[in-house]
Structure formats: C-alpha cells, structure tokens
C-alpha cells in the first residue's frame, strides 16, 4: 500500500509539511457538501499537511474507477504537478479500487476523509483506552483496503521447493492477522467498557449527578470544561484536540448533591460508523449521563448543520432522549449586530422539545455564571425539557415552515432579531432594541 507522507512536520521547518491538493465532489442528494472545503482544509492542517489547492467537481454519480472521472482526474494530476503536491485528499469516502486507481493515475498517495480522521485520532490518542479504540478503527478500515496493492501479495506455493499445489495467498494471511488482532482489541475494549460501567454504577450509588459535554469538534468543549472545573486540560483551536474522556467534580454551590462533568470526543460530519463503534466505550459516558451540555460554535456559519450532525450521532449511540442544555459558545467572536440580546432563552428542537439555551464565551468567561445557575437548577430537578405550550413561538423564528435549526440572518437588510427572555411563567419577546413585543 502506498504510504502517505509523514503527518508530523519537521520541528525546525513548518514548510516541510507535505503539500496537499483538496478535492470535493458534489453529488445529487448530498446535503452536507462543503463547497469551500474549509473543514477538509482544517482536517488536513490537523494531520500535518499544507493545503495548496482546492478542486470542486459536480457529478450525477461517482465514477466506479476514478470516482471523479478521467477528465477531472487529469485536471487533478495537472494541479499536483503544478503545485508540487505530495498527497491528494478527498472530502468523500473512496472505495479501495478507486483509491488504488487514483494513486496510479495521479502518481501520489491518495487519502479520503475517513483515513484523514483516523490519522488525526491516532496522533492525538493519549490514554490506553483511546489508543485501543483508534487501533481498532484503523484495522477495520485497513481490512477493506487489502486489494492486492503490494507486490508481495502474490500467491505462495506450498510443498517443498517448487513442488506442490498453490499455498495460501499472503493477502489471506494478512487478513487473518488483522481479524485476529481485531478480535483481541474488541475483547480488551469490552473489558474497558465493563470497568467504566462499574465506575458509573459506583457514582450512581453515591448520588452523583452526571453531566457530559457533547458537540461538534472545535466548538470549545475543552475550554468550557476548564472554565467550569478549573481542570487545566489541554485545549487548542484545532479539530479533535481532545480524544480521551476526562471527568472532574463540578462545583455548583451547596446543593446537597455531588455532580461530575465529563469532556468527551468531538463529533464531525460524516464521522465513520466504525469509528463510532470503536469509541463506544467512551461515548457511553454521554448515553449514561443525566444531562448533556450540547456545545455549539455560535460563530460558525455551519452551526445549524453541526447541531444536526451531533443529534444524529447522539441518536446512533442511544443518547437522543437524554435531557440537554444548549450552550452557544464563542459569542465573543460574533459581530456586534449578531450577538444575542439576552444571555439565555429557550429553543424549540426538531423533536418538539423546548430546551434551555445559554450564550457564553468560555474564553472570556461571559455567561459562565448563568450556565452554573442553569446547571444547579438541573441538578435540583427544576429544569424540564417538555413540549412547547400551544401558542408559544421560538425566539429565533423556528416554526413548522422554518428550518429545524434556523438562525437569524446577519448583515445589511437582515430581518429583525428577537430574543426570548424568561419572566416567570410568561415569556416575553423583545425586538432588537430591547423593547417588549
């Protein structure tokens, strides 16, 4: 298998990072396509590559041999030669045959989105559990790539000397070795899962209220975790800065009940299903929590799609029914015209539940005190996320005719924004000038 260039740049020269050409293909029915390829560029940078060119194509269906077709493949090859790129990164998943054919056609290694995410995970995993989970996911991915791409995978002959019938192919030996390793890793992860289950049951017996942070990668979960717990865990402005689950005691005043806060791995669009399976032991923290803090990057233009992707993964791991508090983070990065008028309101979710939403900046500390108060109410059992009362309207104009995650437009000509301010049993709508309506 043709190896990708090393994802770790030389310590004395950032320019030594492998140059990468980014490719995205818009197919019919694809709702999550990113024409700017900005997220793929962030993934490439996180993996140690330097994006030097971006190519976007439209197709009615993927080409079975080259995914993009021969004409677009020639265009990509010309761009590789012109830019001196050492790798081509696709924003979509490639079949083993497509990847092999593209590498032969382009003359450089080719990686798809799944491989890129796996490389980042392998580099960032620190705990024993995290390394096991990443290795399992990588082996499961590699098992689908054994398509006679190595010269040593020719069929061996059995018997003595050159006599005897055909023996076992090297590819079959490799596949068996991978299968055996996968079985061993699954058994070890099952043991880890049981240990985590024992720890969770112990916290339940002690009456610990369990809160888990969930959200799209780089939404600021670890920074918020540090702001709430003073833990000092690693936080950085990059994708998948944190992979390993960290749990700390959460101080919420004299409530008469202990609370814990867990920081979990971030989600991302098109997160490989096998990666979700491999991280089941870690993601179980979210499924077994009493409350989820769904952290959203309020400054991201794709925040609505990111919220929907997080909800999809939560449903996949069995955490769709866990009560949530929405935390719109990074409000300090919003322009003056886009900042909310209130620090808290309630938002109608696609399933008909109305949940608390708070606007905070984990970096500056804005809104953290209000978030603690909301958490304290949740621990006391004062927060209920039930159906919206008849006749009430969502503060952001989310009705049956609007997008499930709609957000007001920003800039000249944008419609007036309204923010809901809780006033006891009633709810007041205020216009952009702060006047009740």
In tens, the pLDDT along 5-32 reads 544 444 444 457 899 999 999 999 877 7
Q: How confident is the model at residue 170 (pLDDT cuts 50, 70, 90)?
A: low
What pLDDT is recorded for position 15? Answer: 52
Same domain, 144 and 268: no
Residue 384 CA to residue 291 CA, distance in Å, equals 11
For residue 365, is it within any domain? yes
Into how many domains does the chain fold?
Answer: 3
Residue 7 CA to residue 381 CA, distance in Å, equals 48
Q: How confident is the model at residue 267 (pLDDT cuts 50, 70, 90)?
A: confident
Please give the DSSP secondary-structure letter assigned to residue 412: T
Model confidence at 400: pLDDT above 50: no
Q: Which of 57-61, 135-139, 207-211, 406-410 has the lowest mean pLDDT?
A: 406-410
Cβ distance 19 to 84 under 8 Å? Answer: yes
Task: Compute φ and ψ for 202, nearest 5 degrees.
Answer: -65, -40
Same domain, 185 and 259: no
Q: How confident is the model at residue 168 (pLDDT cuts 50, 70, 90)?
A: low
Q: Is 63 helix (H, G, I), strand (E, B) or coil?
A: strand
Model confidence at 250: pLDDT above 60: yes
Q: Per residue in 88-108, pLDDT tens?
A: 999 998 999 999 999 999 999
For residue 6, is it within any domain? no
What pLDDT is recorded for position 406? Answer: 38
Same domain, 395 and 256: yes
Same domain, 231 and 329: yes
For the chain, give the mean pLDDT: 76
Cβ distance 253 to 295 under 8 Å? Answer: no
* 376: number of Cβ within 10 Å: 18
Reported as half-sphere exposure (CB side, CA atoms, 13 A), residue 8 has a value of 4
Model confidence at 199: pLDDT above 90: no
Q: Burial level of 419, CB count in 10 A (0-12/13-18/19+)?
A: buried
Pick the more confident residue, 128 or 12: 128
Residue 82 CA to residue 75 CA, distance in Å, equals 11
Q: Per residue in 360-375, pLDDT tens?
A: 999 999 999 999 999 9
What pLDDT is recorded for position 244? Answer: 66
Cβ distance 166 to 157 under 8 Å? Answer: yes
What pLDDT is recorded for position 322? Answer: 92
Same domain, 26 and 70: yes
Same domain, 299 and 396: yes
Over its C-alpha atoms, the chain yields an Rg (Å, rounded) of: 25
Model confidence at 113: pLDDT above 60: yes
Q: How confident is the model at residue 277 (pLDDT cuts 50, 70, 90)?
A: confident
Same domain, 61 and 181: no
Read off the pLDDT of each residue in 108-130 and give the average, rounded to a whole number.
85
Region of 146 on the Ramachandran plot (φ > 0 left; ψ -120 to 50 alpha; else beta): beta
Q: How confident is the model at residue 153 (pLDDT cuts 50, 70, 90)?
A: very low
Model confidence at 437: pLDDT above 90: no
For residue 11, is it within any domain? no
Pick the more confident residue, 110 or 31: 110
For residue 246, is it within any domain? yes
3-state SS track over 299-358: CCCCHHHHHHHHHHHHHHCCCCCCCEEEEEECHHHCCCCCCCCCCEEEEECCCCEEEEEE
Same domain, 306 and 250: yes
Place of tokens 């916290």: 203
Q: Burial level of 306, CB count in 10 A (0-12/13-18/19+)?
A: buried
Residue 317 CA to residue 283 CA, distance in Å, equals 7
Residue 253 CA to residue 248 CA, distance in Å, equals 15
For residue 345, is it within any domain? yes
Q: How confident is the model at residue 233 (pLDDT cuts 50, 70, 90)?
A: low
Q: Which of 191-195, 206-210, 304-308, 387-391 has the lowest mean pLDDT?
A: 387-391
What pLDDT is recorded for position 236? Answer: 59
Same domain, 198 and 219: no
Pick the more confident residue, 33 or 233: 33
Same domain, 358 and 231: yes
Q: Which of 84-98, 190-204, 316-330, 332-346 has the lowest mean pLDDT?
A: 190-204
Q: Per residue in 47-86, pLDDT tens?
A: 889 999 999 999 999 999 999 999 999 999 999 999 999 9
Read off the pLDDT of each residue in 295-315 and give the average, rounded to a whole number.
91
C-alpha pair distances (Å), 381 with each of 225, 257, 265, 377, 423: 22, 11, 27, 6, 19
Read off the pLDDT of each residue in 408-414 and give the average, rounded to a whole number.
33
For residue 44, is it within any domain? yes
Residue 359 CA to residue 295 CA, distance in Å, equals 10
The percentage of residues in the chain with a pLDDT greater than 90, rounded to a whole number, is 32
Indicate which CATH number applies to the domain containing 284.
3.40.50.300
For residue 138, what are the domain limits? 125-153+167-205
What pLDDT is recorded for position 238? Answer: 60
Which pair of structure tokens corresponds to residue 156?
Answer: 């061996």
Q: How confident is the model at residue 149 (pLDDT cuts 50, 70, 90)?
A: very low
Same domain, 250 and 379: yes
The percentage of residues in the chain with a pLDDT greater than 70, rounded to a whole number, is 73
For residue 160, is it within any domain? no
Same domain, 212 and 325: yes
For residue 311, is it within any domain? yes
């Amino acid at each position: 298998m043709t190896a990708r260039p090393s994802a770790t740049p030389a310590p004395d020269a950032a320019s030594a990072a492998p140059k990468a050409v980014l490719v995205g293909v818009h197919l019919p029915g694809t709702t999550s396509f990113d024409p700017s390829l900005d997220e793929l560029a962030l993934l490439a940078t996180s993996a140690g590559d330097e994006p030097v060119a971006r190519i976007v194509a439209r197709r009615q269906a993927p080409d079975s041999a080259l995914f993009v077709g021969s004409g677009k493949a020639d265009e990509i090859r010309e761009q590789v030669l012109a830019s001196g790129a050492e790798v081509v990164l696709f924003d979509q998943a490639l079949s083993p045959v497509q990847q092999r054919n593209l590498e032969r056609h382009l003359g450089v290694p080719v990686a798809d989105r799944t491989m890129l995410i796996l490389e980042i995970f392998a580099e960032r995993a620190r705990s024993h559990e995290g390394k096991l989970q990443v290795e399992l996911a990588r082996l499961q991915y590699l098992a689908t790539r054994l398509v006679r791409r190595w010269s040593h995978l020719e069929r061996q002959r059995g018997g003595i000397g050159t006599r005897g019938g055909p023996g076992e192919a090297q590819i079959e030996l490799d596949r068996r070795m991978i299968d055996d390793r996968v079985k061993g890793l699954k058994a070890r992860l099952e043991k880890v899962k049981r240990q985590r289950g024992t720890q969770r049951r112990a916290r339940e017996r002690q009456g610990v209220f369990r809160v888990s942070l969930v959200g799209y990668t780089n939404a600021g979960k670890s920074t918020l975790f540090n702001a709430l717990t003073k833990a000092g865990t690693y936080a950085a402005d990059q994708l998948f800065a944190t992979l390993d689950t960290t749990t700390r005691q959460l101080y919420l005043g004299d409530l008469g009940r202990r609370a814990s806060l867990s920081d979990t791995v971030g989600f991302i669009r098109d997160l490989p299903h096998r990666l979700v399976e491999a991280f089941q032991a870690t993601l179980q923290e979210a499924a077994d929590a009493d409350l989820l803090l769904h952290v959203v990057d309020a400054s991201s233009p794709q925040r609505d799609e990111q919220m929907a992707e997080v909800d999809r993964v939560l449903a996949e791991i069995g955490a769709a029914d866990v009560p949530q508090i929405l935390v719109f983070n990074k409000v300090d990065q919003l322009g003056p015209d886009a900042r909310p008028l209130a620090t808290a309101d309630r938002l109608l979710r696609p399933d008909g539940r109305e949940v608390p939403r708070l606007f905070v900046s984990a970096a500056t500390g804005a809104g953290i005190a209000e978030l603690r108060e909301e958490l304290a109410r949740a621990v006391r059992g004062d927060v209920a996320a039930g159906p919206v009362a008849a006749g009430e309207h969502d503060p952001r104009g989310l009705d049956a005719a609007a997008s499930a995650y709609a957000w007001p437009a920003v800039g000249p000509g944008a419609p007036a924004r309204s923010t809901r301010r809780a006033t006891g049993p009633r709810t007041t709508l205020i216009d952009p000038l702060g006047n009740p309506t």
